[in-house]
Amino acid sequence: MTDSPVVRLEKDGDIGVIIVNYPPVNALGPGVADGIIECLNRANADSSIKAMVLMGDGRSFIAGADIRGFGTNRKRPPLGERSYDVMDASPKPIVAAIHGYALGGGLENAMGCHYRVAVPSAKVGLPEVLIGILPGGGGTQRLPRLAGPQTALDMIVSGRHVPAPEALKLGILDAVLPEGTDLRAGAIAFARTKIDVRPLPRVRDREAKADPSIFDAMRKSIARRARNQKAPYNCILAVEAACTLPFEDGIRREQELFDELVNADEAKALRYAFFAEREVSKLPDMPLGVQPVDFSKPAVIGAGTMGGGIAMSFADFGYDVRLMDATEEGLNRGMERIRNNYATSVKRGSLAQDEMERRLARIHPVAGYDDIADCDVVVEAVFERMDVKKPVFAKLDEVMNKDAFLYSNSSALDLDDLASVTSRPDKVAGTHFFSPANVMKLLEVVRPPRASFETVATAMALGRRIGKISAIAGNTDGFVANRSRAPFNSEMVILLEEGCLPEQVDKAMVDFGYPMGPFAVGDLAGLDIGAEGRKRRALANPNYRKLPIADKLVEMGRFGQKTGAGWYRYEKGDRTPHPDPEVAAIIKQVSAEMGVVQREFTDREILCRLLFSSVNEACRILEEGKAYRTVDVDVMWLHGFGFPRYRGGLFFWADQIGVREVYNQIASWHQQYGERWAPSPLLRQLAESGTSFRDAKPAPFV
């Protein structure tokens, strides 16, 4: 019998080495589990082999299951015949040799081995909850027996990756090899020490004991962040089964709980989001051979809230970054804000003090343009006005190396107009970070008409290298993210005119799954920022729908948290929003002046009024060729606006309702409310043809 195409057996003296080779990350794709079992059986039948090592070729051990197989009709082997079960029953010792990642099915296979060793850089975990399921290969039964029920709960319910040194302390690993040790040689040497050790230490033979109260405590601790989701709670039930049932019964219970989840809407949405994040990195019209340019000397212009957050993003990922501001006072204030942000993370326990100092040391405040002249990329993050940004770009063009890329953090402005003040419009593009820039995962890369593909590719790579998800947008007012969100922002205030209060709208959206309601988010960002955008749009469009209630609050100096009052009021030193009777009175007064009849709203109507308005605008963006695909919009909403991940994204959610139903409702509101609800031609076309949003064919990107 020969090796399978993806798994092979090699011999090193008396040790059999089973090697998985399924690029790029050795996922458990077709043939991998069968290949492991085949090689295992051959090794057990070979009397010259006394012990085995299971390892992966390339950059990882086994990074997990092939997610494309979930939710399909792919048949799973019966319980007891899966690779982890077969390894568990092996009469000869097996050592899992881990580098890169052992995640999901990878860690489950490692726990099916008798021993586990790893290099220091390896990470292990059971992250299935992040795609709406639970570990279905014995992970919920073996991990509690190996590391204890509390550790298993923490890992499985959060889905976090655990570094090898911590995994050793938790009892998941038996050894972490010294830095620089060859993994294969080290694992073989370890295996030789276990050849004659009997009985073999099978994880399934251990007991998992726990105080029953830890399960209810975990349920309470996740109640807010896990609302509307079933997977985290099924994970808890499965770990609980490990502590109350014999192993075989626990495995069957795990399978029942897994089957409840795998085809549910929650899992489908989370799988979609997983693949969407990978799809947006691919530009369909990128010419073959175009590669991003490597960079090592980034600079940020503007030390305000956004500029400081962008500088932190570079520093957090190991880049020395220069930070410049128009005034020394502004620079000092910016550095103090950065230090305070890091100090808050230290206080919360999410950052070590020595790491804070290392990151701070990478941020270099500089006095002027001459101090950044040798940088290879610069991100401008000054005030969002063209008359402020243009002089900055003209000066950058004058002092920067001719090969340097000039990027703007603008959230809405015409980047082609901005590029016109430079002699290098091909090297100008947008890198729109979301606030707070050091936290939010989205980087909206804006491609103006004259930007080269190399410039765009470099901007996309820049985002990935500092931990962002980069998605592309065309050069249109508000780009893709903010333009698609703009009708939502208008509609939420119009709802107030018709009888809602901010707290009712916020509750409806939080119940839907948002971490914060839109009015609370507005107070956090600053109501003056939105007012500036409304002024610009009103000047450009005489038919622009004004929002007198929002404008009234800004006129009163109610800018949000920074002034202690906005849509809500805030106590000193406290960011908790409190409903404000003064706001209710303003709403009532302005609505009466407008002659708008007040009525009551259901949460469902609030939700659809806000989100359908954005679905309609996003369709316009697609039909104008300012976005490549519906998935780009979905990823931007997931990571730019906190759209609940377990709902997939704006278009994915709308697809679950149905294009025809969305269109009919928008058409009805068009008759009721007028032109702002006019259905986009693309939406009408999709509804009439019965085509889903996912299968929409946008206009060519321009």
Cis peptide before 93 (omega within 30 of 0): no
Contacts 24+ apart (CB under 8 A), 601-604: 601/495, 601/498, 601/499, 601/500, 601/504, 603/507, 603/508, 603/511
Please list, in sequence order, all residues whose beta carbon lies within 8 angstroms of the beta carbon of residue 148, skipping any fewer than 6 positions away: 170, 171, 208, 210
The strand order across the sheet containing 101-103 reads 101-103, 123-125, 162-163
Choose the catalytic residue: 38, 108, 266, 380. 108
Bridge partners for 51 per DSSP: 15
Token couple for 408 = 């703007």
Q: Is 279 annotated as catalytic?
A: no
Closest CA to 431 of 416, 420, 447: 447
d(CA 164, CA 172): 9
Q: Which of 38, 128, 444, 491 is catalytic?
A: 128
Cβ neighbours of 328 (radius 10 Å):
10
Q: How many residues does the chain have?
A: 702
What spatial distance separates the first Cα and last Cα of the chain, rounded to whole Å? 56
Look up residue 669 and give its amino acid. W
Compute the half-sphere exposure of residue 455: CA atoms within 13 Å on the CB side of its CA. 25
For this structure, is 266 an active site residue? no
Report angle CA 88, 141, 106 to the nearest 5 degrees: 60
Give yes or no for a contact between 4 and 30, defined as CB atoms under 8 angstroms apart: no
Distance CA 437, CA 580 (A): 30
Complete DSSP assignment for 443-504:
EEEEE-TT--HHHHHHHHHHHHHTT-EEEEEESSTTTTHHHHHHHHHHHHHHHHHTT--HHH
Instruction: With H, G, I as helix, E, B as strand and everything else as coil, classify residue 223.
Output: coil
DSSP state string for 170-184? HTS-SEEPPTT--HH
Are the C-beta atoms of residues 113 and 54 closer than 8 Å to each other? yes
Give the distance, in angstroms, between the CA of residue 417 and the centroid of all CA atoms in the same chain.
32
Distance CA 580, CA 502 (A): 10
Active site residues: 108, 128
